[in-house]
Structure 1
Amino acid sequence: MTATQLRIVVETEDFDAALRFYRDALGLPVQEAFEGEGDARVAILAVPSATLEIANPAQVALIDRVEVGRPTSRPYPLSIRVAFEVDDVRATTTALEAGGAEVIAQPVETPWRSLNARLEAPGGMQITAFQELGPQRAQR
């Protein structure tokens, strides 16, 4: 298993202030941005070797519903979930479970055309293993 991308998803009530800080003050360019139902918003900012997602509580709830079918993220302000892009999410899920992670939800296809699995790593950090399925992108 080799992770090909790291995403740190930061949940924040003040999405606009966080976005301004990371984009304008820190100088991270917006790679992608999406809006969804219930005022869900996310911006993915590029870092040379990783991305940083700023998500509000509605977006975190939306991702939980899509990936798991129920709320599983830690309550704000302690909700941090690390997402790793991998080549084969099914094989990676199996390998991570064998390595000590608890599978919260098996891989599911998301509306934004990725295959996502949710796990809890040793120590309690929730992680998403994801595999991009193609160039067609839907709203997040």
Structure 2
Amino acid sequence: MTMTNPPRQLRLIIETDAFDEALTFYRDALGMPEQPAFATEGDDRVAILHAGLATIELTTPEHARAIDQVEAAPPSDGPVLRLALEVDSTQEAVEEAAATGAASIAPATETPFRTINARVQGPAGWQVTFFQELESLQERSQREGFTTDEQRRR
């Protein structure tokens, strides 16, 4: 069944006691423009940051471990909260994140799926993977191994 009213926006809510640190990281270091948002007074604070196109990547634990291996990241101890952000330059994104104190988890690495990925530790327990596309979705979809889960399971 296809929805007649699919979602138009994905909004990921990150609740954190380190609000200023998170805002500096996501808005200033990662360059996500802030849009107007409503809050009352005092400690009631919110920032809605535009992150471009959003997708949801569902993975099995086995695939998450495979990604850790491809990105040269240490294995996780169970589910990890992780964002993956497409950028024009992975190296520049890592440098900008490091300037705000983000610790490197995995250095820039060219992956078998034709991206350059690097991972840093963001605030509030979230890991951030920066990825730079080296070929278009159309080019990638022509290569062996790239298909949808539905087609893979047939």
- State TM-score, norm by structure 1: 0.59
Instruction: Give 1:49 deviation, angstroms.
Output: 3.3
Unaligned regions of 5+ residues in structure 1, if any? 1-19, 29-47
Aligned structure 1 segments of 4 or more residues deviating by more than 4 angstroms:
23-28
Instruction: Give 1:126 deviation, angstroms.
Output: 0.7
User: Equivalent pairs: percent with the same residue?
Assistant: 36
Q: Going by fraction, where is strand more abundant, 1 or 2?
A: 1
1:68 is aligned to 72
Instruction: Give 1:75 deviation, angstroms.
Output: 1.3
Q: Does 1:134 align with 2:135?
A: yes
Unaligned regions of 5+ residues in structure 2, if any? 8-51, 147-154
1:6 is aligned to none
Instruction: Give 1:80 deviation, angstroms.
Output: 2.0
Instruction: Report which structure shows greater RCO (CA 8 Å, sep ≥6).
Output: 1
- In the TM superposition, what whole-angstrom CA distance separates every residue of 1:30-51 from its partner, at most 9, and x where no partner exists? xxxxxxxxxxxxxxxxxx9311
Structure-1 separation of matches of 2:72 and 2:4: 34
When Rg is computed on C-alpha atoms for both structures, the one with the higher figure is 2
Contact conserved, 2:74 with 2:105, CA < 8 A, in 1?
no
Q: How does 1:1-140 map to 2 (within 5 A)?
A: 27=6, 49-72=53-76, 74-76=77-79, 79-135=80-136, 136-137=139-140, 139=145
Structure-1 separation of matches of 2:99 and 2:85: 17
Q: 1:124 to 1:27 in 2, by over 3 A?
A: same
Instruction: Give 1:68 deviation, angstroms.
Output: 1.8
Q: Give the number of equivalent residue pairs.
A: 97
- In the TM superposition, what whole-angstrom CA distance separates every residue of 1:32-80 from its partner, at most 9, and x where no partner exists? xxxxxxxxxxxxxxxx9311111110110000000025313x513xx22
- In the TM superposition, what whole-angstrom CA distance separates every residue of 1:72-128 from its partner, at most 9, and x where no partner exists? 3x513xx22101100011011011011121101110011110000011112221110
Contact conserved, 1:68 with 1:118, CA < 8 A, in 2?
no
